Amino acid sequence: MPVYVSMLRGINVGPQKRIKMDRLRQSCEGLGFEQVKTYIHSGNVIFKTGKVSPARLSKRLEERIVTDFGFSVSVISRTMDELAKTIENNPFLKEGVDLEKVHVAFLSDVPTPAALKKLEALSAAPDRSCCAGKEVYLYLPNGVAKSFWMKTPLDRVLSVITTTRNWKTVTSLHQMCQDCH
């Protein structure tokens, strides 16, 4: 049975859209997902289920969250293999940068060439970005709070849904997928 990770966007970061991880696990189990685990309180779920597209999984989980929690949340899902490729394709690994300053924005769709040009035009040193398919790798040497992304959210620039995770979370999620496999 394939292993997937679903990442919920924007939960537990303010007073609204609060979800306890035990209740999120129960919701996922209610969808028939197996070996459901969560990682930290920002809505990362690892599970096994029958073969299905990640986009379809995201839609099913979004619908379930509305039913179970009463609000809408965007969800981006990846297979274990897609997550492994995300790690392998990180262009900053070869540069020896401080990995604590690396983030990955997971995208719902591949951005258009025009959107990527807009991203390039908005990038401001020392921040750097690199888009590879449905991921944008971010190197933010001064931290997220001081980056230009705080002023210009990636979703608006790329016209796709995004959710961002730091490098430690990305690699931890992949390890959890392997442990589930």
13 pLDDT more than 80? no
Is 17 in the same domain as 66? Answer: yes
151 pLDDT more than 80? no
The structural domain count of the chain equals 2
At residue 35, the pLDDT reads 97
10 pLDDT more than 90? no
At residue 149, the pLDDT reads 75
Strands 44-48 and 75-79: unpaired
Share of the chain above pLDDT 70, in %: 99
CA angle 155, 156, 162 (to 5 degrees): 0
Is 8 in the same domain as 53? Answer: yes
Residue 167 falls in which region: left (phi positive, over 0), alpha (psi -120 to 50) or beta: alpha
pLDDT confidence bin for 11, thresholds 50/70/90: confident
Range of the domain at 93: 84-168
- Cα separation, 105 vs 71, in Å, equals 23
Is 33 in the same domain as 100? Answer: no
Q: What is the CATH number of the domain that holds 162?
A: 3.30.70
Is 66 in the same domain as 93? Answer: no
168 CB-side CA count, 13 A: 5
Is 105 in the same domain as 156? Answer: yes
15 pLDDT more than 90? no
* Residue 141 CB neighbours (<10 A): 15
Is 74 in the same domain as 21? Answer: yes
At residue 181, the pLDDT reads 78
Is 35 in the same domain as 63? Answer: yes
pLDDT confidence bin for 18, thresholds 50/70/90: confident
Is 76 in the same domain as 109? Answer: no
Is 101 in the same domain as 157? Answer: yes
Is 92 in the same domain as 64? Answer: no
150 pLDDT more than 80? no
At residue 78, the pLDDT reads 98
- Cα separation, 128 vs 106, in Å, equals 16
Is 156 in the same domain as 141? Answer: yes
At residue 147, the pLDDT reads 86
Secondary-structure percent of the chain, ordered helix, strand, coil, rounded to 5: 40, 25, 35
Is 155 in the same domain as 116? Answer: yes
The pLDDT tens digits for 83-136 are 999 999 999 998 989 999 999 999 999 999 999 999 988 888 899 999 999 999
Q: What is the CATH number of the domain that holds 50?
A: 3.30.70.1280
